[in-house]
Amino acid sequence: MANTPAPAPADTDLEAMLARALGKAAPEAAAPVEVDPATQRCGYVAIVGKPNVGKSTLLNALVGQKVSITSRKAQTTRHRITGIRTVAASQFIFVDTPGFQTRHGNALNRSLNKTVLGAVADVDLILFVVEAGHFNLADAKVLSLLPPNVPVVLLANKLDQVHRRGELAPWLRSMQERHPFAEFVPMSAKAPKDIERLFGICEKYLPQQPWIHDPEDLTDRSERFMAAEMVREKLFRLTGDELPYTSTVVIDRFEEEGQLRRIAATIVVEREGHKGMVIGDKGEKLKRIGTEARVELEKLWGGKVFLELWVKVRSGWADDDARVRSFGYE
C-alpha cells in the first residue's frame, strides 16, 4: 500500500489557520459595567466589497439593528452608512460602503465610487467581504483600491453556502498570494456566534482612545435619512428587477408631533413607464411600498408614523452631476 505523502508545510499552516478560524468560540457577553476612560478603545472599521456580497446584512448584524437597507438588487447601498456598537470597553464605528461600480460610468456611479474611496482612506481596519470560496474581477477591482497602510481582514462571508469546507484551504492560499491579509475570517453574517467572534478579532485593531459616540448610539444618520432609505428598500424589494437601480427617494417633509412623525416623500424614476411600475394596478404597489416602509419605521423608532408617497419622473437624473448632488449623494 503506497504511503500518503505528507502535506507541504504551507498546506499544513493553511489547514491549521482554517481550523482555528472555524473553531474559535464566541466570547461571553459581558455584563454592563462602568468603564475607565483610560482603558477605552475606539476606532473606525470600513466594510468594503463588490455589490451584493452581504455588506449591509453584516453591518446590521454587527449593530444589532437595521441601519443599512438590504435587497437582492445590486447598488442598493448608495451612501456611507455608519453603524455604532459599544461592547465592554471598546466602541466600534462600522462604515458600510456602496459596492464599487465597474459596469456603469454615470454621475451616480462616480458618486458611489467616490464614497467608497473616501470611506477607506482614514480608518483603522478594513473588512474586505467576499463570498467564501469565490473571487472574481469585481472583487479584484475593490481589492486593488485598498490603501497599503491599513490592515485588511479577509472576511469570507456566506460560509453556510459552502458545501465542502476542505476546498477553502487552497482558496485561502490563492487569496494570501493576492494580498497580505492581517486575518482570515470565514463566517456567515446571519450566524450570531460568528458576529460575536468578529468583535473579538476586530477589537485589537482599535486604538486606545476615548469613545466618540454615546454608548447607546447605533448610527450617526438622521431619522430623515433613515426614512428615505427605508422607502427605497421597499421600493427595490417590491419591484424586483423590473425597476432600474437609478430610482431614488427624496424626503419632502419630516415633522415630529410628540411620538408621531409625519413624512412626505417622493419616489424619483427616470421614465414614465417606470412610474407605472411603482404605482401598480389601482395604486396597489405604491400603497404596499408605503405600508411596509411605515411598519418598519414604526418598529425602528417605537412610535406612530404617517407616511405619504408620490412618484415623479426626472429623466436622466443619474447622468447629471448637479442633480445627483441635489438628491443627497456625495
Domain end among 176, 204, 232: 204
Residues at the binding site are: 49-56, 96-100, 157-160
Q: Is the pTM of this model over 0.85?
A: no
Question: What was the pLDDT predicted at 172?
Answer: 86
Residue of 197, 210, 185 lying closest to 90 (CA atoms)? 210
Q: Same domain for 249 and 282?
A: yes
Range of the domain at 257: 223-327
Cβ proximity of 195 and 189 under 8 Å: yes
- d(CA 229, CA 67) in angstroms, rounded, equals 9
Question: What was the pLDDT predicted at 149?
Answer: 87
Q: Same domain for 169 and 53?
A: yes
Q: Same domain for 241 and 192?
A: no
Q: Same domain for 71 and 196?
A: yes
- d(CA 106, CA 78) in angstroms, rounded, equals 14
Residue of 2, 64, 13, 66 lying closest to 199 (CA atoms)? 64
Residues at the binding site for GTP are: 49-56, 96-100, 157-160
Residue 11 lies in a domain: no
Alpha carbon 167 to chain centroid, angstroms: 27
What confidence category does residue 41 fall into, taking pLDDT thresholds of 50, 70 and 90? very high
**Residue 318: CATH number of its domain:** 3.30.300.20
Q: Same domain for 200 and 248?
A: no
Q: Same domain for 266 and 229?
A: yes
- 228 CB-near residues (< 8 Å, 6+ apart): 249, 250, 251, 265, 328
Question: What was the pLDDT predicted at 167?
Answer: 75
Q: Same domain for 75 and 124?
A: yes
Q: For residue 300, what is its C-alpha cell?
A: 425602528
Q: Is the pLDDT of residue 81 over 60?
A: yes
Residue 25 lies in a domain: no
Which range has the top average pLDDT, 7-11, 118-122, 211-215? 211-215
- d(CA 249, CA 261) in angstroms, rounded, equals 18
Percent of the chain with pLDDT over 70: 71
Sign of CA dihedral 115, 121, 123, 124: positive
Number of domains within the chain: 2
Over residues 82-113, the pLDDT tens digits come to 789 999 899 999 987 755 544 555 554 555 55
Q: Is the pLDDT of residue 5 over 80?
A: no
Question: What was the pLDDT predicted at 62?
Answer: 92
Residue 172, H or E segment: helix 168-178
- d(CA 10, CA 222) in angstroms, rounded, equals 49
Least confident of 22-31, 127-136, 163-172, 205-214: 22-31
Q: Same domain for 197 and 233?
A: no
